[in-house]
């Protein structure tokens, strides 16, 4: 038996590839169950976030197991292995364990010290555990993984000044615009992160019911795209009409797929990407 990790992340794959290889929460249990039916796969856990997708497996043959996982990642997302293989990395044995520990400690994150990865790793394991896709090896490994994540937070200063990508975006906005007090913010996407106080303009990509936004009286503008999420069907000229945009914009997109390409943003005016 051997333990392996196969994945891609923000270091190895551009957003155009990452947005096509993912396992959102709505399909993660089915994906893990499907992977468990592949030959050579004995245990498996799938970690899927905005910036990384990693498949952890216990296999009876290392080379054949890695090939099986690569095939699964491609085929489940309607891709061919050759389309993604150059962006994939693999770890096995002790190197795999070290990698998982680095990931849960946020040492491999886009923002070192960010706290979200600990919960994401925990959820990834729980999804697999619930459908009995983990046994003795991974139950033991991920018990230690959780301990490592907790100890890194409690015994080091890595989380002392930890920031999320959203926090980093706010700090960047301050550097670009100076005092952001009184500035109007345009939010592209109307999920949980969009419900906040302050003068905002909203472009909806998720077909969110209007009444959820109308309950928040501080929303200045609500723009809905008629196209399904990810198609990029927004009428960008409307963005010029948002109060306070002033010809300048800051692009910070933490959701994928990403319809806001730098080319489209340049059509709006001066945009910092």
Q: Distance between CA 118 and CA 121 in Å, rounded?
A: 5
Token pair 């050759």 is at which residue? 82
What does the alpha-carbon distance between residue 244 and residue 190 come to, in Å, rounded to a whole number? 20
**Diameter of the chain by CA atoms?**
61
Q: Which residue has the higher pLDDT, 8 or 194?
A: 8
What confidence score (pLDDT) does residue 210 get?
A: 45
Peptide bond into 244 cis (omega under 30): no
Please give the positions annotated as active site. Answer: 50
Instruction: Determine what percent of the chain is predicted with pLDDT higher than 70.
Output: 59
Q: Note the Cα 186 to chain centre separation in Å.
A: 21
Q: Is the pLDDT of residue 34 over 90?
A: yes
| pLDDT band, residue 135 (cuts 50/70/90) | very high
The residues, ordered by sequence, that sit 6+ positions from 110 with a Cβ below 8 Å of its Cβ are: 10, 51, 165
Residue 249 is predicted with a pLDDT of 44
Supply the pLDDT for residue 198. 47
Lowest mean pLDDT among 14-28, 112-126, 185-199: 185-199
249-267 residue pLDDT tens: 444 444 444 545 555 555 5
**Nearest CA among 146, 53, 46, 137 for reference residue 105:** 146
**If you average pLDDT over residues 131-138, what whole number do you get?**
95
Q: Which helix (H) or strand (E) holds 9?
A: strand 2-9
Q: Rounded to two decimals, what is the model's pTM?
A: 0.68
Tell me 31's DSSP state: H
Read off the pLDDT band of 235 (50, 70, 90). Answer: very low
pLDDT for residue 156 is more than 50: yes
35 by Cβ neighbours in 10 Å (0-12 / 13-18 / 19+) ranks as buried
Residue 71: what pLDDT?
96
């Amino acid at each position: 038996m051997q333990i392996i990790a196969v994945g891609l992340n923000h270091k190895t794959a551009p957003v155009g590839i990452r947005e096509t290889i993912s396992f959102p929460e709505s399909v993660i249990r089915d994906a893990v169950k499907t992977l468990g039916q592949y030959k050579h796969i004995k245990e498996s856990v799938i970690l899927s976030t905005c910036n990384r997708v990693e498949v952890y497996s216990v296999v009876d043959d290392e080379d054949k197991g890695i090939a099986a996982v690569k095939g699964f990642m491609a085929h489940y997302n309607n891709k061919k292995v050759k389309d993604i293989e150059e962006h994939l990395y693999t770890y096995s044995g002790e190197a795999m364990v070290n990698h998982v520990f680095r990931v849960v400690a946020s040492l491999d994150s886009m923002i070192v010290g960010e706290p979200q990865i600990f919960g994401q790793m925990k959820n990834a394991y729980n999804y697999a555990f619930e459908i009995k896709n983990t046994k003795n090896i991974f139950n033991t490994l991920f018990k230690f993984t959780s301990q490592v994540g907790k100890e890194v937070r409690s015994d080091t200063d890595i989380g002392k000044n930890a920031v999320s990508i959203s926090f980093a975006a706010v700090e960047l906005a301050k550097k670009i615009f100076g005092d952001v007090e009184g500035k109007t913010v345009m939010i592209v996407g109307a999920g949980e992160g969009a419900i906040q106080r302050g003068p905002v303009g909203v472009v909806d990509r998720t077909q969110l019911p209007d009444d959820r936004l109308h309950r928040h009286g501080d929303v200045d503008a609500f723009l809905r795209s008629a196209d399904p999420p990810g198609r990029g069907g927004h009428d960008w000229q409307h963005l010029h009409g948002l109060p306070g945009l002033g010809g300048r914009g800051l692009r910070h997109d933490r959701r994928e797929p990403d319809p806001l390409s730098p080319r489209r943003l340049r059509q709006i005016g001066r945009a910092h990407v």
